[in-house]
Amino acid sequence: MLSVATKRTQAARFAHWRPGLWRFHLPEAGGVWAGVTDRTGSLESLQTAAVFPQGMVMAGQVHGASIASVERIRAPGRPIAGCDALVTQTLGLGLAIRSADCLPLFVWDPVQGVVGMAHAGWRGLAAALPCRLIRFLQQRYHTRPGDLWVGIGPSIRACCYDVGPAFESRLAPWVQEERGRRTCDLIACAAAQLREAGVAAHRVLDSGQCTACEPDRWYSLRREGEACGRLISCIGFRT
């Protein structure tokens, strides 16, 4: 378990950057930009601020565990269908996902020069998306898990994520019952999978932001319903 001091240090790496935009300051990141819009931000403001010369590509997002390697944009404006995670080594290319409670995972390998962006909801976590992503990086880019840094963006936390009995069979270790409430800790689940895949605990950086707790800052599907907006998270090499 991380100490309070360590948690504060990790959270301090995620901070408000510009109106509508928050940024992850990943160690050893060089020319990598990683950040997320809040309720006042937009895709256009993100594109302008991040400045990816090759453009940005979005994951299609099917709440699964499929991963795509992207080296260039084949169809501008069209998401990469059927996947919830993207990785690239291409300079000037941004990888993006949309979320409104699910976990945005920002991945950076400073040794092999690879970035990854994943959308991990409870279904993706039940299908071990974080583990699969690390294995994919190992196989395709010869990444060593111990070299990786991973950021967990704004997402729903156990304080607000009440779940039904069905979760017991899918994510049992992270389901808690207390005072008549059954909640699930998706953050702890993702962190455990990353550790299992070989990522050092101190290299998993949590934004500490609960989307359901802060209605003035973040969108939350659990709080607002399907009609709510979406946060846009992005990572990539600026140059």
User: Parallel, antiparallel, or unpaired for β 14-18 and 67-69?
Assistant: unpaired
pLDDT of 10 higher than 60: no
Q: In degrees, to the nearest 5, what angle opens at C-alpha 186 toward C-alphas 177 and 97? A: 150
Residue 73 main-chain phi, psi, to 5 deg: -85, 115
Whether the CA torsion 42, 38, 98, 136 is positive or negative: it is positive
* 163-to-74, 172, 186 alpha-carbon distances in Å: 39, 11, 11
Total domains, the chain = 1
For residue 75, the tally of other CB atoms under 10 A from its CB is 9
CATH number, domain with residue 137 = 3.60.140.10
Quote the pTM value.
0.93
In this predicted model, what pLDDT tens digit does every residue of 40-88 receive, in sequence order?
Answer: 999 998 888 888 889 899 999 999 999 999 998 877 778 999 999 999 9
- What residues contact residue 162 under an 8 Å CB cut-off, 6+ apart? 181, 182, 183
Enclosing domain of residue 20: 4-237
Computed over every residue of the chain, the mean pLDDT equals 91
In this predicted model, what pLDDT tens digit does every residue of 136-188 receive, in sequence order?
Answer: 999 999 999 999 999 999 999 999 999 998 888 889 999 999 888 999 999 99
